[in-house]
Copies of this chain bind each other. A is one copy, B any other.
Amino acid sequence: MDVSLRQLQVFHAVAKHRSFSRAAQALCVSQPAVSAQIRALEQTLHLTLFERTGRSVELTEAGRQLLPYAEQVMELLDDAMRAVHDLNNLQRGRVAVAASTTAGIYVVPRVLGAFHRAYPGIELSLDVLNRFAVQQRLLAGEADVAIMGLIEDPHDLEIAQFLPNDLVVIASPRHPLARRRSIPLAELGRELFLVREVGSGTRADMERIFAEAGVPLRIAMELRSSGAIKQAVAADLGIAVVPLDAIQLELETGRLVVLDVEGFPVRRSWSLVRRAGRPASPAADALWHYFLQYALQPH
């Protein structure tokens, strides 16, 4: 036989109250239940833990030796239960978020900041990666929640629409098309484009749009970041299709303008993604729902 938690608990109660009956009361059980637990414990340990003197009960030397262990075990369990409680009540926890480049730079930090203010006890990590890597992390369980544009293969993934993610055509304010209204998409076939590398969501979307419209896509240069593309467009090296979210600052300062092309802005959404059929931690689940809620509010 083995020592049980119950036995330690009962032992502690009897030691504290110096009485089997009072311990039973305190534990809300009958007195024989207490006697039985103590007897079982004493048999297991081959030690007498209490001196039963008829009137009162005293710890033996062995009992005094054991008591601190019982106390520490129970204290430790209390701590553990408190930790569990905190996890369940979102007072503690950890969520790993992964986001594709544009989302991770221009969209997620704002929402994550708001979430952090709401649940300051939850540790957050944000990894900004390319689309492929994001999806991989998610499936490997290394990220709890992801935010990205296009999703390659929705298999095993739970996907929810998040904030709008409009694609616009940008040019420098000096560009000939900058003042035009309702530019037909076909006209862009004559323009030189600055594009992200293959593998980028924006690049994929863009190619699809031009292909569907039967408009040729003339690529001037391939660049590895939205930042580089914006610089190049501002320097009149060409025009580009970018997420609206990525150029707020440049629009405000007038360094770039959005061209009024027919069919643009292409209305898309950022997707909130997590593995389907997996139980999410309380914190990850809270973040998921917080993000969904956030998308419903005006910003």
Contact = CB atoms under 8 A, between A and B. Distances in A.
Interface of A: 2-5, 45-48, 51, 53, 58, 60-62, 65-66, 69-70, 72-73, 76-77, 79-81, 83-84, 87-88, 92-94, 141, 278-279, 281-284
A84 B61 contact: no
Enumerate the 9 nearest inter-chain pairs by beta-carbon distance, A residue then B residue, closest first.
Answer: A69-B80, A48-B279, A5-B5, A61-B281, A45-B84, A61-B94, A73-B76, A62-B87, A72-B76
Contact of A5 (B4, B53, B66): B4
A37 to B, nearest CB: 14
10 contacts: A4-B5, A45-B84, A60-B279, A60-B281, A61-B87, A61-B283, A62-B281, A65-B84, A66-B83, A66-B84
A275 to B, nearest CB: 9
A36 B76 CA distance: 24
Contact of A141 (B2, B58, B278): B58
Contacts of A3: 5, 77, 80-81
Contact of A73 (B4, B73, B83, B283): B73
B65 A83 contact: yes
Given A69-B80, A69-B83, 7 more contacts: A3-B5, A4-B4, A47-B281, A58-B141, A65-B84, A66-B80, A66-B84
Residue among A4, A65, A94, A141 with the most chain B CB within 10 A?
A65
A35 to B, nearest CB: 16
Contact of A47 (B47, B72, B87, B94): B87
A99 to B, nearest CB: 19
